[in-house]
Chain A
Amino acid sequence: MQTKELQDIASQVRRDIVRMVHACQSGHPGGSLGCTDLLVGLYFQQMKINNRKGKGGNLTFNMDGTNEDLFFLSNGHISPVFYSVLAHRGYFDKAELGTFRKINSRLQGHPTTHEHLPGIRIASGSLGQGLSVAIGAALAKRLNGEKTTIYCLMGDGEQQEGQVWEAAQAAPHHKLDNLIGIIDLNGQQIDGPTEKVMSNRDLKAKYKAFGWNVLDIKDGNDMEQVITGLRKAKRLLGKGQPVMILLKTEMGAGVDFMMGSHKWHGVAPNDEQLAAALAQLPETLGDY
């Protein structure tokens, strides 16, 4: 897919995010907007997934994902971007995005398998658990003799959870060279800048010391850099080491007044702010 096409999808996903969060007046727009380019790049370019369609025209989803690349979202609060990307990729109807965070919806506040939403393989929201799950899936794939890749996205604030470091030591120990971790370095968390709340210090040095092959994507909101970085990470697999991508993003990317602070981590726009945000985001594929 051309970069322009990916950028058009990203623009539509960003529109979906602000509209979804506005409609239920809750949710997390900031991190969702920041990770939009990554998730679009993964699902529309990088990942090998089953394109077989079932009844109704949506993708058939099987939990085991046999011979497919798998993605785990550990920082589950950025569910709006995940749901929008899954819908556009064809896992379920776009119209369902309108049910986000509402009663009787499959699109829970944080992602879950419990409501059987196609595309979701684990519940996340309580932070720090996704990398462990991704390690388990990577081990299963290796046991099954599959040559597929497991991806796991975490937040930078999430790095403060102890379990992350239990997982960080386990993946290189088991020589999981089919695993790519990604950390969203937006430098913000609920209570303020990450450096102020609880400094991560040098994440690159930390992961290297734990045995990971670490690479940077300097601008995670530049689609070309995202695609180049993901390709580079994949080339580093198969060499006895897991790979960690440090993805520098801007919280709120794409909506000027949501950028540059932690204020839009978990706040919904009002009607006026919604209009201002949508004016900056071209409707490329049609709103849900």
Chain B
Amino acid sequence: MTKYPFTEKKDTRSGFGAGMTELGRTNPNVVTLCADLVGSLKIDTFIKENPERFIQCGIAEANMIGVAAGLTIGGKIPFATTFANFGSSRVYDQIRQSVAYSDKNVKIAVSHAGLTLGEDGATHQILEDLAMMRAMPNMTVINPCDFNQTKAATIAAANHEGPVYLRFGRPVVPVFTSPDQKFEIGKAWMVSEGKDVSIIATGHLVWEAIQACEILEAQGISAEILNIHTIKPLDEKAILKSVRKTKCVVSCEEHQANGGLGDAIAQTLAKNFLAPQEYIAVNDSFGESGTPTQLMEKYGLNAATIVEKALKVIARKA
């Protein structure tokens, strides 16, 4: 398998902050909005360098989404930022009517997605946002895997015409993708080629998939890892190519099993090529307080569970 050594761990939200810093310097149309979470979103440098292009919205997310939609009328490229819960479920109708249905070039950039925001607990741990955003017509949904990919995705989102939901997280995770990668929306990244099982992962579970792949390799199993950073539009071609070869798949996401990446893959397989699938996802439950590592273990979102599910799905192959 392809080896991915890493030298440091960083949070993906800082990758977003780095992307915004660069956009602040290179694209005069980019404006940033935030609902009282500037420090959490790592946009201090953007604000310091472009104070006139930052709009503090206070704790009023519904208004923020509408203001972002209005800013596009006048050629701005607004990034509306907050926690993933407050940028999705809390404002779904605002996004639906004022952004997606209105074809507005708004980027909804959200941090603290999933269980791994940790101690704050289930009120903040949104695990349904990918499902909601996938279901919305006209929405592009991106969930990058590390610092470098998040930075690249942020810049790509600004260059893409149309609504984008860009999701990232709070904990530090290994930085293993290239700092000068080319990020193409809707194009899967082949992390490592294999032949026995496809492990298709999004977000920081890509790193867990790499760890799992190493364990499987030691047992003589060749796993293929595909990174789906764009949940919608889904790179069906890359998924089918991989599964046609391996004949089985484990999907991995920090999200509910209902409606997320796993279901998007299952839909693709059901229409094109039937193959057994196992899910690494949260099984229809809310989260709870704890450290990220504890939560990933308890809810089965780590390398050990990926190995277990990989062995199970291989055994299910006819």
Contact = CB atoms under 8 A, between A and B. Distances in A.
Nearest to A125: B97
Interface stretch (A138-146, A192-200, A202-210, A261-269): A138-146
A170 B57 contact: yes
A146 to B, nearest CB: 8
B58 interface: yes
Contact of A170 (B67, B68, B103, B104): B67
Given A126-B97, A140-B74, A140-B76, A135 B62 contact: no
Contacts, number: 115
A49 interface: no
Interface in A83-140: 112-114, 121-126, 128-140
A174 B93 CA distance: 25
Contacts of B103: 113-114
A163 B62 contact: yes
Contacts of A169: 58, 60
Interface stretch (A36-44, A63-71, A251-259): A63-71
A224 B288 CA distance: 62
A143 to B, nearest CB: 7
Contacts of B71: 136-137, 139-140
Nearest to B31: A143
Interface in A160-207: 162-163, 166-167, 169-170, 173-174
Contacts of B78: 136
Nearest to B70: A136
B75 interface: yes
A167 B63 contact: yes
A23 B98 CA distance: 29
A216 to B, nearest CB: 26
Contacts of B93: 126
B273 interface: no
B58 A135 contact: no
B286 interface: no
A124 B96 CA distance: 11
A207 to B, nearest CB: 16
Contact of A133 (B55, B67, B76): B67
Interface of B: 31, 52-53, 55, 57-58, 60, 62-76, 78, 93-94, 96-98, 101-104
29 contacts: A63-B73, A64-B73, A64-B74, A65-B73, A112-B102, A122-B73, A122-B102, A124-B97, A126-B93, A128-B62, A129-B97, A129-B98, A131-B66, A132-B66, A132-B70, A132-B98, A133-B66, A133-B67, A136-B66, A136-B71, A136-B78, A137-B73, A139-B55, A141-B74, A143-B76, A167-B63, A167-B67, A169-B58, A170-B60
Interface of A: 63-66, 70, 72, 112-114, 121-126, 128-141, 143-144, 162-163, 166-167, 169-170, 173-174
Given A65-B73, A129-B98, 11 more contacts: A113-B101, A121-B73, A122-B98, A132-B66, A133-B69, A136-B68, A140-B73, A141-B74, A143-B74, A167-B67, A170-B60
Q: Which 8 A-B pairs have the closest CB atoms?
A: A136-B70, A132-B66, A140-B74, A166-B63, A166-B60, A136-B67, A133-B70, A137-B70
